[in-house]
Structure 1
Amino acid sequence: MTTRPAFLLRIAAAAASLALAAPSAMAWTSKPVRMLVPAPAGGTMDVLARLLADQLSADLGHPVVVDNKPGAGGGIAITTMLAAPADGQTIMVTASNVLTEVPHVLKPAFDPLKDVRPIAAVSRSRMVMIGAPGLPARDLKSLVSYARANPGKLSYASYSAGTASHYAGMIMNQKAGLDLQHVPFAGSAPALAQVMGNQIAVMYDGMVTSLPMIRAGKVQVYAVASKSRSALLPQVPTFAEMGYPEMEFSNWVGVIASARLSPELAEKIQAAAYKAAAAPRVRERMEALGYEPLPAQPLPQLADSVRTEFERNAGIVKTFNIQP
């Protein structure tokens, strides 16, 4: 027969065991979390943010509420985040270009390397070179030859001036001896429409927005701007394979927070973010959207990668004299 003291000891031991088994993320917060998104509701980034928010809500046992703050190249959302207490209750899901590209052009009121702490890069979108369906060139080598044979007649679109979509075209012009004229747009959608309609020859775009058009046969695809092929487009060669290793551009999407956040709290949020991103339904949906899931990175390594990309883009802006 079990004595009462022994019974109470077992209950206490079981409670302690459950506490130890609880995810470390449970210690992150006991309140609702505000997740800022620097894009309108309904867009690809918003869809991904809501996936993460739903999974985080389930994991934490507390609501994670998405708050869309588009505008100023992500600056409105970041300014809102930095104005909030650095207690982990306000985080942001964004593409990394708001830290590594946009600041070189828009000159924000914050320092992306000092005021913002990258927390978790959960997925990546590589850049691809696509072309109008009416272009006679069917591969990159033929496209380069065609452009050289038609000087001054072709142009390339970007989703905004001063972004990697702009940089890629200038670098390719320089390395391949081309003279394609840059035509910037306010986002991928209007630029893609011009390429699909044969008004503009080519575009350098993120795979997330271009992949549906590529799969539908509405645009041609020439190369992926990375050193390794993409699992989403395994048949498409990389620029590196074709002799242009400088053409390496991608953005990650993930969680950032105020740099005033304590390292301990940052690590707990990071663990929760990577756990949410690894959930099968989240991972499957990310891949369906055109994102490639990324392995977890330690906080210092992620911060270093952001600084490296920021400095690389600063060099490109200086080299090509790209003006704000």
Structure 2
Amino acid sequence: MKRQLTQPILRRTLGAVVAAAFAVLASPAALAQVPTDKPIRIVAAGPAGATTDIVARLLADGLQKELNQTVVVDPKPGAGGAVAVNDLMQAPHDGHTVLVALNALVSEIPHIVKLRFDMAKEIKPLAELGRAGIVMVGHPSVPAKSLGEVISYVKTSPGKVSYASYSAGTLSHVMGLQLNKAAGIDMSHVGYKGSTPALTDVMGGHVPLMFDGIPTAIPMIKAGKIVPYAVSLPQRSPLLPNVPTFAELGYPQLEATGWQGLWVTPDVPAAAQNRLREAALKVMAQPATRERLRELGLEPGQPRTPDELVKSLRVDYDRVGAVLKSIDFKPE
């Protein structure tokens, strides 16, 4: 059944982040059951040229060769991915229209926007294409070169040191709240409509601290315009090898990973789902694709099963929801 997404439209874009997976061979039985005379259309949840669009095009190029089938990318910006999801839901549910989007569609957006239905039941993840974490950064004028020094600095001025997020209600916001609780500090939150304006204000010294996606922060870190303190990944990022993880520094509750995924509606035939997943994993495991993703500030994804991805989405959804509930955050 096709249903329109509700309004109001999200006012903020989601930050973001994410990379490739390991190869498996496509099932001959699945290949035989799925028609290949129609082009595959990948709806990318974001504007042309953005990270999600680039990941979708890398996938499309590989799928076209792997499946010997025409594959096109159709970027759909707006509403933090809601416009793209609406497009997917309105297309035939036969496996010829798929979605590339962030896990935030399920783990964060339902907490930010009021929906008439359960987003987790409308779209299903087939494969993790890539991943990235959050990095805490600060303006060079902040008298701190480590997370411990940041915490000490904030404690000297409770309630007077602020941190930026790329959107209220997102992981970028939640992580600051979690650090407040874990470290016994009181940073105030300043929400923005996207990573770019937030980073601009941090680099300008208007807001001293920020939690941002690694891909968007890396160019500014390398240019010396912001200072990194810690990353949210389970291990140090190879893109920022000298930056410790929050877990290393004694804050395991701040471990979090965002990922770009390949999604379909759950009622797409199983044979088509299997064919798409297996081909996507094989494509994203190719060395050239993995290298290109790293250039974007993304890391290779993991070959988690759809069931494992769904389980992780539930965990992330509950985690974000619990933190937002503690500050009485209300969806728009």
The equivalent position to 2:110 in structure 1, one of 100, 103, 117, is 103
1:193 and 2:200 equivalent? yes
1:156 and 2:163 equivalent? yes
Q: Is the 8 A contact 2:132 2:233 kept in 1?
A: no
Following TM superposition, where does structure 1 have runs of at least 4 consecutive aligned residues deviating by more than 4 angstroms? 21-28
1:83 and 2:93 equivalent? no
In 2 relative to 1, CA 307–152 (structure 1 residues): closer, same or farther, beyond 3 Å? closer
TM-score (norm 1): 0.89
Q: Residue 173 of structure 2: SS of its match in structure 1?
A: helix
Match of 2:299 in 1: 292
TM-score (norm 2): 0.87
The equivalent position to 1:259 in structure 2, one of 266, 271, 281, is 266
Q: Is the 8 A contact 1:162 1:322 kept in 2?
A: yes
Structure 1 Cα separation of the partners of residues 93 and 26 of structure 2: 24
Amino acid at match of 1:306: L
Q: Is the 8 A contact 1:75 1:108 kept in 2?
A: no
- The alpha-carbon deviation at position 109 of structure 1 amounts to 4.2
1:51 and 2:58 equivalent? yes
Structure 2 Cα separation of the partners of residues 159 and 276 of structure 1: 31
Q: Residue 119 of structure 2: SS of its match in structure 1?
A: coil
Match of 1:127 in 2: 134
Amino acid at match of 1:68: P
Q: Is the 8 A contact 2:176 2:211 kept in 1?
A: yes
- The alpha-carbon deviation at position 22 of structure 1 amounts to 8.2
Larger Rg: 1
Higher relative contact order (CA 8 A, sep 6+): 2
Amino acid at match of 1:206: G
Structure 2 Cα separation of the partners of residues 241 and 283 of structure 1: 27
- Stretches of structure 1 lacking an aligned partner (at least 5 in a row): 1-20
- The alpha-carbon deviation at position 271 of structure 1 amounts to 0.4
- The alpha-carbon deviation at position 101 of structure 1 amounts to 0.6
- The alpha-carbon deviation at position 285 of structure 1 amounts to 0.5
Structure 1 Cα separation of the partners of residues 101 and 37 of structure 2: 24
Q: Is the 8 A contact 1:206 1:250 kept in 2?
A: no
Structure 1 Cα separation of the partners of residues 292 and 116 of structure 2: 35
- Stretches of structure 2 lacking an aligned partner (at least 5 in a row): 1-24
Structure 1 Cα separation of the partners of residues 117 and 48 of structure 2: 25
Superposed CA RMSD? 1.7
Question: What CA deviation, in whole Å up to 9, does each residue of 1:166-225 have, x standing for no partner?
Answer: 100111112212221111111101101111111111111111111111122111000011
Q: Give the paired residue count.
A: 304
Amino acid at match of 2:224: G
Q: Residue 135 of structure 2: SS of its match in structure 1?
A: strand
The farther-off stretch of 260-269 and 139-148 is 260-269
